[in-house]
């Protein structure tokens, strides 16, 4: 298990409502598209981060975390495990409060770096599955 219940609850309810979703594009067949929709339904502001910088769910996209001109609270990562560590490092540099690696995304070294920098971290879990369970 890569995320204890207290950390999951804190990320979803206390750390802020601006979620940068890395890997989110306008492709409705991708998991990120549906997860971002669920996050919006629960009051989160989603910020699409994808090289195409597309507008998704009414929110303008950015090519990278560094391009976002405002603070983000949580970085939700929809890239494969080999690329996820670099995204976690970018989240630390951006000043995020937490990093969430989606189902199937695991990088122990990135987890240790993020936690050492003071960020909460969850791996191999999905906020769209977890957030309805909080009620």
Strands (E), the chain: 18-22, 45-49, 74-77, 98-101, 120-122
**CA R_g for the chain:** 13
Q: What is the pLDDT of residues 78-90, one digit of tens each?
A: 999 999 999 999 9
Bridge-based pairing of strands 74-77 and 18-22 is parallel
Neighbours of 34 (CB within 10 A): 13
Bridge partner residues of 21 (DSSP): 48, 76
Q: What does the pLDDT look like over 77-128, one tens digit per residue?
A: 999 999 999 999 999 999 999 999 999 999 999 999 999 999 999 999 999 9
- pLDDT score for 2: 78
For 4, the 3-state DSSP assignment is coil
**pTM of the model as a whole:** 0.96
């Amino acid at each position: 298990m890569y995320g204890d219940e207290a950390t999951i609850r804190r990320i979803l309810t206390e750390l802020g409502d601006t979620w940068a979703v890395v890997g989110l594009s306008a492709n409705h067949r991708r998991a990120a598209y549906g997860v971002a929709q669920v996050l919006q339904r629960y009051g989160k502001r989603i910020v699409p981060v994808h090289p195409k910088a597309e507008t998704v769910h009414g929110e303008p996209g950015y090519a990278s975390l560094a391009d976002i001109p405002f603070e983000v609270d949580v970085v939700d990562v929809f890239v494969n495990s080999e690329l996820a560590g670099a995204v976690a490092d970018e989240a630390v540099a951006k000043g995020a409060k937490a990093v969430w690696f989606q189902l199937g995304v695991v990088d122990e070294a990135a987890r240790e770096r993020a936690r050492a920098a003071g960020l909460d971290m969850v791996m191999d879990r999905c906020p769209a599955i977890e957030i309805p369970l909080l009620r």
